[in-house]
Amino acid sequence: MSKEFKKLKQLEELMVDIMKVNRNHYIPQTNRRENVVEHSFSLAMFCWRIFNIIRPPLDIEKILKYALVHDLIERGQGQDVNTYAKEEERRAKKEKEGEELKKLSLEFGDFSEFIETLKNYEIKNDEEAQFVWGVDKVQSIVLGYIDGWRPYREYGVSYQQFCDKGEEFLTRSPYLKDIFEEVLEEAKQTYYDRPKNK
């Protein structure tokens, strides 16, 4: 097997592994959950579209790379841990992701730009990473909206929990504040257990 073919095979095997990691959201009108590859593609498109709308002074190439790799360290987890999960579940997930990042760094040591992108997204020390993190939350809300809030209902996320988490998300990327507020306000109008007087 040639060196180049081996590298491409290794990358495709990673993509296949990631296709096996299910997220909490479903593909609307189906009983199949969205996988990480599908989510990453949706996120990249959302990032591109929102970038096009607000034109922030950020690097779109870096944003799109972050969007493509942002969840690759979930390889081997089978099922994503919910945003609303208990703190110990979130902490355990972070530990597994740290271990996976080390494995990927060894496996793809010769693909330094890929590993650097993964690491930089994880520490989120630049505005592009914060932008992608925020758009990730926007995409999940929009998908939940389209699907009648099915994953939120199944997980028992109350209207108040949803609003509180939304307020927390608002603080993460200044460039997304207006869009985030608009998405949250629209989402609140149809949220599955929205109080009648709201």
- Would 123 be classed as within a structural domain? yes
Query: Could you read off the pLDDT tens digit of each residue along the chain, which spans 198 residues?
Result: 898 999 999 999 999 999 999 999 999 999 999 999 999 999 999 999 999 999 999 999 999 999 999 999 999 886 777 777 777 877 878 888 899 999 999 999 999 999 999 999 999 989 999 999 999 999 999 999 999 999 999 999 999 999 999 988 887 778 999 999 999 999 999 999 999 876
Number of domains in the chain: 1
Q: Are 71 and 122 in contact (CB under 8 A)?
A: no
- CA-CA distances (angstroms) from residue 152 to 6, 22, 32? 41, 15, 16
- Would 117 be classed as within a structural domain? yes
Residue 198 CA, distance from chain mean position = 29
- Would 90 be classed as within a structural domain? yes
- Domain coverage including residue 28: 3-190
- Would 198 be classed as within a structural domain? no
- Would 195 be classed as within a structural domain? no
Where does 108-146 have alpha helices with state H?
Answer: 112-123, 127-146
Q: Which of 24, 1, 51, 63 is nearest to 143 (CA)?
A: 24
- Would 196 be classed as within a structural domain? no
- Would 197 be classed as within a structural domain? no
Average pLDDT, rounded, for the chain: 92
Q: Which of 161, 140, 175, 106 is nearest to 26 (CA)?
A: 140
Task: Look up tokens 């009983």; give the residue.
Answer: 31
CATH number of the domain that residue 143 is part of: 1.10.3210.10
pTM, two decimals, is 0.91
Q: What is the DSSP letter of 80?
A: P
- Would 179 be classed as within a structural domain? yes
CA 1 – CA 7 distance, rounded (Å): 10
CB atoms within 10 A of CB 5: 9
Query: Helix 36-54 vs helix 127-146: angle between axes, to the nearest 10 degrees?
Result: 110
Q: Please provide residue 24's backbone torsions phi and psi, each rounded to the nearest 5 degrees.
A: -75, -30
Q: Please provide residue 23's backbone torsions phi and psi, each rounded to the nearest 5 degrees.
A: -100, 180
